[in-house]
């Protein structure tokens, strides 16, 4: 590619194509579409529940019946898939997070309700123990350490249970070593060859998950931080190694998380591997845009669309976002 223009000003005027709306549309290099969006939704037990999440204005904890209604709305707007996350009350959490293995837990019941109401929509399940543990960690805590291999064994069972409930994409967000290969083998052994794995491959130990932890009820319970398993925000090469490993273990797609502060990682992953690359616009990114817009400090809709388009420009094939429904409404209009 020749980046150095042959013509020079005044023959060359880069403003010329920007002058009219039709021309700006025609010259656009990337395009955001509803087909790029995975809608992140938070679940809560009950019926008819739509409980606002204080730190995420516009996000509600939905009971399975409400989630099913939301799924129909999303499908009708052309959103291909939903990513589900369960709120668990502190009283229902245990040290071993065993509720993760209950085939009738909130995630599984919601999956069945959604599949009954909107069979054509893709369903992605978060795999990790943090919604179910009383210490808020993604794995088993033994003598102050998040133990890797014992955790992986449980995550495999959790994945199979979720696949049995109808989830199409298993998305391990725990960052244990070796979990993608183990989950792939476990799914295959259970007859789930067609269930996908989207690996949270480059997941950073980030402050931007704050509002999410409130949303799923982990905020008060999390002991310490997740730096012994999530990545150091300082690192780039390490993200490439994580992605390479997860692809080699059989991941169908990989994810970078968070999104906006890590666009360089998105770009590099897409360029180096050419694999299906997704990005998670996490709760803190959502909350920042919402809070500033509620204060009148920025135009919330424009900032939302611009932030989503930035992921496409960086090379992402798709975006997991709490904005999916709002964005789809605008993209459709
Ligand atoms: C945990 C998990 C997290 C998110 C998805 N799965 C947070 C964490 O690692 O503590 C973050 C989602 C968000 O912030 O929107 N397994």
Cα(39)–Cα(331) distance, integer angstroms: 14
How far does the centroid of ligand 1 lie from the alpha carbon of residue 209, in Å?
A: 6
Q: Check residue 1 and give its pLDDT.
A: 57
Using most ligand atoms within 8 A of CB, pick from 282, 289, 322, 323 the residue to mutate for ligand 1: 282
Residue 47 sits in which domain range?
31-332
The answer as to whether 21 is a domain residue is no
Residue 213, H or E segment: helix 210-215
Structural domain includes residue 12: no
Q: What is the pLDDT of residue 320?
A: 99
Mutate to test the pocket of ligand 1, among 56, 85, 206 (most ligand atoms within 8 A of CB): 85
44, 115, 226, 257: the catalytic one is 257
Buried b (16+ CB within 10 A) or exposed e, 187-202: beebebeebbbbbbbb
Nearest-atom number in ligand 1 for the CA of 173 is 16
Question: Cβ < 6 Å from ligand 1: which residues?
Answer: 126, 128, 130, 138, 173-174, 209, 212-213, 226, 282-283
Q: Examine the residue annotation and report whether 312 is marked as an active-site residue of this protein.
A: no
**Four-point Cα dihedral 46, 52, 58, 60, nearest 10:** -20
C-alpha 81 to ligand 1 mean position (Å): 18
Q: How far is the CA of 231 from the centre of ligand 1 (A)?
A: 13
In this prediction, residue 205 carries a pLDDT of 98
Asked if the structure places residue 50 within a domain, the reply is yes
Can you give the CATH number for the domain in which 325 is found?
Answer: 3.20.20.70
Ligand 1 atom, smallest distance to 138 CA: 16
The pLDDT value recorded for residue 219 is: 85
Ligand 1, atom nearest to 129 Cα: 16
Does residue 107 lie in a domain region?
yes
Q: Is residue 54 part of a domain?
A: yes
What pLDDT score was predicted for residue 2?
A: 62
Name the residue of 173, 214, 322 whose CB sits within 8 Å of the most ligand 1 atoms, as the mutation to test its pocket: 173
- Closest-lying ligand 1 atom to the alpha carbon of residue 40: 15
Classify residue 16: in a domain, yes or no: no
The pLDDT score that the predictor gives to residue 332 is 83
d(CA 87, CA 62): 9
pLDDT computed for residue 3 by the predictor: 72
In a domain, 87, yes or no: yes
For the chain, what is the domain count? 1
pLDDT at 6: 82
Q: What are the b/e assignments for 293-327, b being 16+ CB within 10 Å?
A: beeeeeebeebbbebbbbbbebbbebbbbbbbbbb
Q: Which residues contact 115 (CB under 8 A, 6 or more apart)?
A: 123, 166
User: Cα of 225 to ligand 1 centre, how many Å?
Assistant: 12
Q: Is 24 contained in some domain? A: no
Contacts of 168 by beta carbon, 8 Å cutoff, 6+ apart: 81, 122, 123, 124, 195, 196
Atom 11 (ligand 1) nearest CA: 209
Nearest-angstrom CA–CA distance, 218 and 128: 13
203 flagged as catalytic: yes
Per-residue pLDDT at 90: 87
For residue 232, the 8-state DSSP code is: P
pLDDT of res. 191? 98
C-alpha to C-alpha distance for 18 and 21, rounded to whole angstroms: 7
Kindly give the parts of the chain with pLDDT less than 50. none
Catalytic residue among 44, 203, 270, 290: 203
């Amino acid at each position: 590619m020749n980046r150095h223009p042959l013509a020079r000003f005044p023959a060359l005027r880069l403003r010329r194509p920007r002058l009219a709306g039709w021309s700006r549309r025609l010259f656009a290099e990337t395009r955001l579409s509803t087909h790029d969006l995975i809608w992140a939704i938070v679940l809560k037990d009950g019926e008819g529940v739509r409980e606002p999440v204080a730190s995420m204005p516009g996000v509600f904890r939905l009971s399975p019946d409400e989630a099913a209604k939301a799924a129909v709305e999303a499908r009708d707007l052309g959103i291909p898939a939903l990513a589900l996350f369960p709120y668990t009350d502190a009283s229902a959490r245990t040290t071993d997070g065993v509720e993760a293995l209950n085939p009738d837990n909130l995630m599984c019941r919601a999956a069945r309700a959604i599949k009954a109401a909107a069979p054509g929509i893709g369903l992605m399940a978060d795999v990790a123990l943090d919604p179910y543990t009383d210490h808020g960690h993604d794995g088993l805590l033994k003598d102050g350490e998040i133990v890797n291999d014992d955790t992986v064994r449980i995550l495999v069972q959790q994945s199979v249970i979720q696949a049995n409930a109808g989830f199409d994409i298993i998305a391990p967000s725990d960052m244990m070593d070796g979990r993608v290969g183990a989950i792939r083998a476990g799914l295959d052994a259970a007859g789930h060859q067609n269930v996908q794995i989207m690996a949270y491959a480059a997941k950073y130990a980030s402050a931007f998950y704050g509002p999410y932890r409130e949303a799923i009820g982990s905020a008060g319970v999390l002991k310490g931080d997740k730096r012994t398993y999530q990545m150091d925000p300082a690192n780039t090469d390490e993200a490439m190694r994580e992605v390479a490993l997860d692809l080699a273990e059989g991941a169908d797609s990989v994810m970078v998380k968070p999104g906006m502060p890590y666009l360089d990682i998105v770009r590099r992953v897409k360029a180096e591997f050419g694999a299906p690359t997704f990005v998670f616009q996490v709760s803190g990114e959502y909350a920042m845009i919402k809070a500033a817009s509620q204060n009148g400090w920025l135009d919330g809709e424009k900032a939302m669309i611009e932030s989503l388009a930035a992921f496409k420009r960086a090379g992402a094939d798709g975006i997991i976002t709490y904005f999916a429904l709002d964005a789809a409404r605008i993209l459709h209009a």
